[in-house]
Amino acid sequence: MKVDPVTDERDLTALDDPDLVRLMAEEDPAALETLYTRYSRIVFSFALRILGDPASAEEMLQEVFFRAWQQAANFSERKGSFVTWLLSITHNMSIDEIRKRQRRPQRADSADPVLMLTNVTDEGPSVEDAVVQGAWNEEIVRALDTLPAAQRTAIEMAYFRGLTQREIAEELGEPLGTIKTRMRLGMRKLREHLEAQELGLG
C-alpha cells in the first residue's frame, strides 16, 4: 500500500468511524491505523473467544483489518455501526477458520451472526435486535463476563460454536429444560445490563 506522507502527518483521532472508513476506502493508511488503534483490542478479544488461542487470534486480528481495508467501500453507516460490521467480519472469518479445522458449527453458514442466537426466546426487546441496530460493541463483550458461569457458557456455546440448545444440553450432560432456562435468564440479564448502559434497547 502506498503511503502518503502528507496524510501521515494528519491527526485523525478526532474523526468519527464513518469518516475514517471513507478515508480508508480511498486507501488512506492513516485512517486504517487510527481504526486499528481504536478497535484492535476488542477484535482480538472477540477472535480469542471463538478460536481459543492467542496466536490464532492475533493472526485473525491482522486478517480482519486487512479484509476491512479491502472492503471499506462496502461499509454502509445506514446498516449499522462500524464496530458491528467489523465484529461481523471477525465472527464470520473466525467461524470459517474453525470449519477448516473440521469443527463445523452447524449454523455457521448464516450470513448474519445474530441468527446464531435465534433459538433463544424471551419477551421484550432482544439482544439480537440490539446487535442488528448496531449496539454490538465492547460493552456486550464485557456484559457476557457479568453472567454466572453456567449461563455464560451456554450462550457462548450457542453463539461462538453455533450449537443448538439440544446440542449444548448433550455436550454439558444437562437436561434440555435446564439449558433453555439458563439461556433465557442469561439473555435477560444481558439485556438488562445493556439497558443500564443506555445502549437504546428499549
Q: What pLDDT, on the 0 to 100 scale, is given for residue 73?
A: 93
Q: What pLDDT, on the 0 to 100 scale, is given for residue 138?
A: 57
Is residue 97 within 8 Å of residue 56, measured between CB atoms?
Answer: yes
Q: Which of 98-112, 141-155, 156-170 has the lowest mean pLDDT?
A: 98-112
Tell me, yes or no, whether 47 and 123 share the same domain: no
Q: Which of these, 140, 154, 138, lies nearest to 44 by C-alpha position?
A: 138
Number of domains in the chain: 2
Tell me, yes or no, whether 86 and 145 share the same domain: no
Cβ atoms < 10 Å from Cβ of 193: 19
Give the rounded percent of residues in the chain with a pLDDT score beyond 90. Answer: 28
Average pLDDT of the chain is 75
> Rounded to whole angstroms, how far apart are CA atoms 182 and 75?
36
- Helix 82-100 × helix 54-70 angle, to 10°: 130
Residue 159 DSSP code: H
Q: What pLDDT, on the 0 to 100 scale, is given for residue 95?
A: 83
Q: Which of 14-28, 50-64, 118-132, 151-165 has the lowest mean pLDDT?
A: 118-132
Write the DSSP string, 18-48.
HHHHHHHHTT-HHHHHHHHHHHHHHHHHHHH
The end-to-end CA distance of the chain, in Å, is: 44
Is residue 40 within 8 Å of residue 62, measured between CB atoms?
Answer: no
Tell me, yes or no, whether 122 and 192 share the same domain: yes
Give the rounded percent of residues in the chain with a pLDDT score beyond 70. Answer: 70
Q: What pLDDT, on the 0 to 100 scale, is given for residue 77?
A: 82
pLDDT tens digits, one per residue of 171-197: 899 999 999 999 989 888 887 876 776
pLDDT tens digits, one per residue of 25-35: 999 999 999 99
pTM for the whole thing?
0.55
CATH number, domain of 7, equals 1.10.1740.10
Structural domain including 195 reads: 111-202
Q: What pLDDT, on the 0 to 100 scale, is given for residue 122?
A: 40
Instruction: Give the containing element (helix H, strand E) for 171.
Output: helix 165-172
Tell me, yes or no, whether 118 and 196 share the same domain: yes
Tell me, yes or no, whether 78 and 1 share the same domain: yes
> 40, 70, 104: which is the final residue of a domain?
104
User: Sorting pLDDT into bands at 50, 70 and 90, what band is 146?
Assistant: confident
